[in-house]
Structure 1
Amino acid sequence: MTEAAAVFRETSADPVTESVPYSHLSLELGHLYMEDFAEGADRLVRHFTAVRPWADTARAWAAAALPAGKRPRISTCFLIDDYFSRLSTPAKLVPTLLDAAERAGLTIDYLARESGCALADPARPDRAGLAESVMHRLVESPPPGSNGFRPPVSRTGWLTNGRRAPARRTSAALDADSAWQPPAETEARGHSVFVDVELWDDNGPHRTWSCAFLAAVWQLARLGLLRDDGRAVLTPAPWDRDLPFPDDWDALPPLLRLNPAAPPFTAYSTCSVLPVRFLPVEHAVRVILGQVHVDADAVGQAVARAGQEKVTLPEGVVERTSYLFPPGL
């Protein structure tokens, strides 16, 4: 019989997973490109006017999903694209945006910069940005019959929901003798809807993350499932709306709490009201979310907190996200 060896470990060696507060629903009131803002205030008013009835529908759905008599906590948010282009400044754009929402009867509780989902925190330059952190958590789902020939996503920057069609062989004779095989979705229901998603490219001096990948990071942040060594990330910074907004996007915190009385930014579930042109992007987002290994402690905290409120959360992260695509938005 061998004697068991005792192992002593400092409790401080295990990072404590910081908890975050939860709303029942994070309601996104839109995501527009800088080109949309360039069309002026009337374009923004039309956007929010079209969003309003659908936002009301999402609120009613959230209330109906709760036990009788319980009032839902719903926070609203808006994501501004300052990552792919910067045609304006916060000082010019943000007040116009907030005014347009108010004219349509909507309030934006939280305002986020898309670059905050991509770049490292200036206050912590030693840490990776959110997008890179999520990239390291990708766990590809190998399709049935795969042989490991396909390079990993960490090398290619491409993620798929199934089996790609075989690459063309170098020998024409071999091609003639082998039958073509179509791509196939891993969990297809009857017929495949195959998606191959580009997560980033390295064409410039710095890596450029794709819109779909940043949108996946955005969803994980709204669900409260991102941590950095146990520490909560993309936490809201309070902002006094009576103060002027800066002229430089980098001078603006990645996530602002504009409404001091707003319910928490993070939520058990998300709903995004988006123009229909974002439908392909959000399909890609769901493919990505289905292959991210999220922090187990963060997931456990959300499930436990929801259980205390008698709210049942879907097991998968993807099922906690929903969308509305109003016509003509």
Structure 2
Amino acid sequence: IDNMEPRNQTGVSEFPLLALTEDPEVQPLLFSLFLSIYLVTVLGSLLIILAVSSDPHLHNPMYFFLANLSFTDICFSTTTIPKMLVNLQAQNQSITYAGCLTRVCFVMIFASLENFLLGMMAYDHYVAICHPLRYMVIMDSCFCGLLILVSLLVSIVDALLHSLMLLRLSFCTDLEMLYVFCEVFQVVKVACSEILTNNIILYLAASILGVVPFSGIIFSYTQIVSSILRMPSAGGKYKAFSTCGSHLSVVSLFYGTAFGAYVSTTFTHSSWKTAVASVKYTAVTPVMNPFIYSQRNRD
């Protein structure tokens, strides 16, 4: 009878993590690479924030949203990359139960906030190009601040909901490895208890919080393209397209890597492919944003 007792335990102490490499010669190279990515992300984003806050000419909605996006990138990278660096140097590839749930919460907050910010920036471009005479009336400082505040609150509530839902799960003593760091989909997949409710809430929230901003981006650029095509001068068209170019690049990178990470986590059985997709989503996107927004930007 004792041998037939379930292996579930609610108070699991730690989760094993998949090592990026088992080769001791490659570990220093990966450590240097991710440390460089993290430092460049933080430095580049801080420079953007400093430039926007110190120059009165940049005190407008577009750069206000860009400064918030840069701050979100710093927080997003800080939530994930330092733990990867520690694991590359440590012999024990694991993360504590409390640390995993905390990281899940913060990753969801900053990923959701970045998603909302990209939608706000698309709306800002839409108003600037399609309603230029009413731009300062519509995009006043109070409205922009309210958008940021509401998005932050929604992101926090969503992350706390999923974190609390994880607390109800029990886990086996012989846990499967999580990929590189804790993601909510991975944690749910390794649970030994009933996960139907968690999955319903996960996919419902992901659909709403993902589809709404992305639909806003699609609508905004549909209107922007329609308005640009009606412009008589080629110079005006080029200026309008160049204004949106950086944002479109960031949107493509963010949603492309996020979709790749989601598909790999859900449908791929290869641990290495899933780990690579997760690293692209959490490390590559934040480090590219400062370069994309600084390119051909005289401001």
Q: Taking structure 1 as the reference length, what is the TM-score of the superposition?
A: 0.22
Q: Taking structure 2 as the reference length, what is the TM-score of the superposition?
A: 0.23
